[in-house]
Amino acid sequence: MDEALTDGTVTLSPLGPADFADHYAGEDEELVRWLSGDPATPEGLRDYLDCCARWWRAGGPFHNFGIRVGPALELAGTVDVQTDMYYLREGQTNLAYGLYPQWRGRGLATRAVRLACAYAASIGCTEAVIRCEPENTRSAAVAARAGFTFLQCRSEPDGRVLDWHTLDLRG
């Protein structure tokens, strides 16, 4: 991706090794609970950010963005556009997102999801999916504000139960 995506408030640009310090400092219990599952270790986070850069060079299947805010483009969180996942149909993409604590409650996640949907449509995706645990009411609220519709509550192969929210990207 050569150009950043922006709506004038939020800018999405590829996540990579240069984001280590901000990403490591931004992780809290909520991000671990809803997004990553385990606290990051310095080595694990460096490996992940190196993978993000490799995925960008390879064209996917993960397109990991930093959610950046303000003139200095401060890293406020992340949003991932994931394609070719076993649970997706042809043309679908899964979105996963999280904000660092100091950035929550400002509508930034909703803006980032909308930008991520525009990106997904630009790479040929026809439907976006947000999967979240039923107890994750903040994530469901972001999906609703971004125009997603609740589709179903589904038992996943790993035993988790997730609510699926979808948005048609063709319109």
Name the percent of the chain lying above pLDDT 90: 85
Domains of the chain with CATH codes: 5-126 (3.40.630.30)
C-alpha 42/C-alpha 113 separation (Å) is 27
pLDDT for 171: 76
Residues 14 and 80: their CA atoms lie apart, in Å, by: 10
Return the pLDDT at 2.
58
What mean pLDDT comes out for the span 81-100? 95
Q: What is the mean pLDDT of residues 79-88?
A: 93
> What is the Cα–Cα distance from 167 to 171, expressed in whole angstroms?
10
Q: How far is CA 4 from CA 21, 56, 115, in A?
A: 21, 13, 10
**Taking the model in full, what pTM does it have?**
0.94
| Rounded distance between C-alpha atoms, residue 151 and residue 167, angstroms | 10
Average confidence (pLDDT) over 110-129: 97
Distances (CA, A) of 44 to 20, 26, 51, 82: 11, 15, 11, 20
Which pair of tokens denotes residue 33?
Answer: 């609970």
How large is the average pLDDT for residues 53-73?
93
pLDDT at 69: 97
The residue among 31 and 110 whose pLDDT is bigger is: 110
